[in-house]
Amino acid sequence: MLLLVACFSVLLVLLARRRRKKTTASTDPPSLNDHRLISHHELIRATDDFSEANLLGRGSFGSVFRGRLDDGLDVAVKVLNLEMEAASRSFDAECRALRVVRHRNLIKIISTCSTLDFKALVLQYMPNGSLERWLYSHNYCLSLLQRINIMLDVASALDYLHHHHPQVVLHCDLKPSNVLLDEDMNAHVGDFGIAKLLLGDSKSMVSASTPGTIGYIAPEYGSTGRVSRSVDVYSYGILLLEIITRKKPTDAMFEGESSLRKWVCEAHPTAVLDIVDNNLLKDEHVDPITRHQCLSASLELGLLLCSKDSPKDRILMKDVLPRLQKIKKNYLSKQPRA
């Protein structure tokens, strides 16, 4: 009888462990192993051996090539330059940040390929290239509505990363070259090479790695290395000012104590039309008063609410979205119907 009771007790323990193991496995986030497997040889075929003809661009830690996989899917292949010490850390950071994110305005990671002497990310291909190309090329021009939609798409992506993801993801390097446009001109945020994850209830962390790009870095990030949601909000504010004015924060006109923020501040709100991208003033189908209101409200959002010097004075991305949606609604409500 005692032997039977003992056996029954052991069985109960084993069943409990098995049930606990199943529960743990089901709640673990999916890993990169859940993505499709793509070999180094397939990437060589896809990119014609990483030919210059397929080069889309070069970044801080490597190069990006257009490729077509064996099944016909067009992709962007980001090949890390492993001669750079920080390249492997960049690869790991991007994998950590992208492995479980699911949002329409974030670049999708299709797979990775990693060996001792080769590391690459296989990413969703964006046929319309980067926002930077559309802002500064003489062959392209973005309408005011397109710019509003791009600002909304980027804000939506950051709102998801900051407030609706199981772990807070900080991009830390938001700029026009990291905003990519699909075939319908929807914006997708990419390049998470220096992204940071906030663990638990952490509000901020100190990063020992290289901060983002000069001109877009929040003051506290550049001086102390401290990163928080507010760091991305600051960069977003600078990006918003750049989209409206078509001026880089690193433009030669901003020397000494001058900056893009100060230049906009001096013009807002009375001389807004003197600093905005002149292309925005050429559309005769847009009501001038409505256009001015939209431009002024957008610059106010970037200048006074997102890019303040002190992080405590900046709003959150979840509060940026409704303001932008209101700007778009007001703009569309006053446009003449076709």
The tokens 């699911």 sit on which residue?
Answer: 102
pLDDT of residue 245: 98
Asked whether residue 215 carries a pLDDT value surpassing 90, the answer given is yes
Summarize pLDDT for 103-154 with one digit per residue, the tens: 999 999 899 888 888 999 899 999 999 999 999 998 889 999 999 999 999 9
pLDDT of residue 338: 55
Catalytic residues: 173
Q: How many CB atoms lie within 10 A of CB 66?
A: 19
* pTM of the shown model: 0.85
Summarize pLDDT for 60-78 with one digit per residue, the tens: 788 999 999 999 999 999 9
The tokens 């001038």 sit on which residue?
Answer: 288
Full set of structural domains in the chain with CATH: 34-124 (3.30.200.20), 131-333 (1.10.510.10)
Q: 89 by DSSP, 3-state: which?
A: helix
pLDDT of residue 32: 44
Asked whether residue 21 carries a pLDDT value surpassing 50, the answer given is no
Summarize pLDDT for 234-271 with one digit per residue, the tens: 999 999 999 999 999 999 999 888 999 999 999 999 99
